[in-house]
A = this chain, B = another copy of it.
């Protein structure tokens, strides 16, 4: 009754998110697996796995292993993979429209892409997709009415902050910033993460 609502750390969420998808690949949900095995499958130590599982509030029972389905359900609940989240993509240039296609063709997810935005109306007309597209001036309205909680930003750096502001006003809870600009959320409680190919390659090249 203590740790149930504690905020989870990012590393833990990353590990458990991945474990969730690994567990989904088991054919037989009745299987039981040890923490050692789960560690091997996800590239972590058995101790970390046990600590994480404990951290999300799930309890197995000592001696017996973890039940695949029960554990998966518990992770899903705690990380709220069970309730569907609606997402949008703002900016449909080469990168944005590729992410749109990539996203809408990825199955098995609790994330649903429900809108795309671009400032150029004639660009909207040329894109072939089943996702609803809107001109950028409607961001606030559409985000609010469709209750979109996640936004992927793929616009030129110069306009990124403005887009972030409008997404915040519409009421998103999280923003994935794919532009090279540094942006901040005015509104309290909006999480922003940066997602940029060049930065990632830089990190790789500096490590190597």
Chain A interface residues toward B at CB < 8 A: 7-8, 10, 13-14, 17-18, 21-22, 42-43, 79-81, 85, 87, 94-95, 97-99, 101-103, 105-106, 109, 111, 149-150, 152, 173-176, 180, 182, 184, 189-191, 193, 195, 197-208
Query: If the complex has contacts A95-B102, A98-B98, A208-B173, are A14 and B197 also in contact, measured as CB distance less than 8 A?
Result: no
A203 touches B94 (CB 8 A): no
Q: Which residues of B contact A207 (CB under 8 A)?
A: 7-8, 10, 13, 174, 191
Bound together, the chains give a CA A123 to CA B189 distance in angstroms of 44
Cβ-defined contact, A204 with B182, below 8 A: no
Contact indicator B201/A176 (Cβ below 8 Å): yes
Would A191 and B204 be within 8 Å (CB), given that A98-B95, A198-B103 are in contact? yes
Contact yes or no, B202 A81, CB < 8 A: yes
Q: Find A198's partner among B8, B42, B94, B106 (CB 8 Å cutoff).
A: B106
Nearest Cβ in chain B — how far from A9, in angstroms?
Answer: 10
Instruction: Check A176 against B202 for contact (C-beta < 8 Å).
Output: no
Residues on B with C-beta less than 8 A from A201 are: 85, 87, 111, 150, 152, 174, 176
B203 near A103 (CB under 8 angstroms)? no
Given A43-B182, A98-B95, A174-B208, A193:B198 Cβ within 8 A: no
Q: Are A205 and B111 in contact (CB under 8 A)?
A: yes
How close is A78's CB to chain B, nearest CB, in angstroms?
8
